[in-house]
Homo-oligomer: A and B are copies of this chain.
Amino acid sequence: MESARVKPKNNIHTFPTQEQKERAAAWFETLRDDICAELEKIEAEYSAVAVAPFAGSVARSAEASHQQGAEQSRQKHVFQKKTWDRSTADNSPGGGGVMSMIKGNVFEKGGVNISTTFGEFSPEFRKQIPGAAETGSFWASGISLVIHPRNPHVPPVHMNTRQIVTTRGWFGGACDLNPVLPNDADTKAFHARLKQTCDAYAPDYYEKYAAWCDEYFFNKHRNEPRGVGGIFYDYHDTGNWDDDFAFTQDIGRAFLDIYPKIVRQHMHDPFTDADKHAQSIKRGRYVEFNLVYDRGTKFGLMTGGNIEAILMSMPPEAKWV
What is the interface of chain A, defined by CB distance below 8 A to chain B?
A: 109, 220-222, 280, 284, 287-288, 291-292, 298, 301-302, 304, 307, 310-311, 314-321
14 contacts between A and B (CB under 8 A): A109-B320, A220-B301, A221-B301, A221-B310, A280-B317, A287-B287, A291-B291, A291-B292, A292-B298, A316-B319, A316-B320, A317-B318, A317-B319, A318-B319
Q: Nearest chain B CB to A215's CB is how many angstroms away?
A: 17
Q: Nearest chain B CB to A283's CB is how many angstroms away?
A: 9
Q: Nearest chain B CB to A200's CB is how many angstroms away?
A: 37
Q: Nearest chain B CB to A300's CB is how many angstroms away?
A: 8
Whether B292 contacts A301 by the Cβ 8 Å rule is: yes
A310 partner residues in chain B, CB cutoff 8 A: 221
Which of B222, B284, B298, B315 contacts A307, CB < 8 Å? B222
A318 partner residues in chain B, CB cutoff 8 A: 287, 317-319
Complex CA distance for A25 and B185, rounded to whole angstroms: 54
With A287-B318, A314-B320, A317-B319 given, name 4 new contacts (CB 8 A): A221-B301, A291-B291, A292-B292, A292-B301
A284 partner residues in chain B, CB cutoff 8 A: 314
A314 partner residues in chain B, CB cutoff 8 A: 284, 320
Complex CA distance for A304 and B223, rounded to whole angstroms: 10
Q: Nearest chain B CB to A301's CB is how many angstroms away?
A: 4
Minimum CB distance partner of A103 in chain B: B321
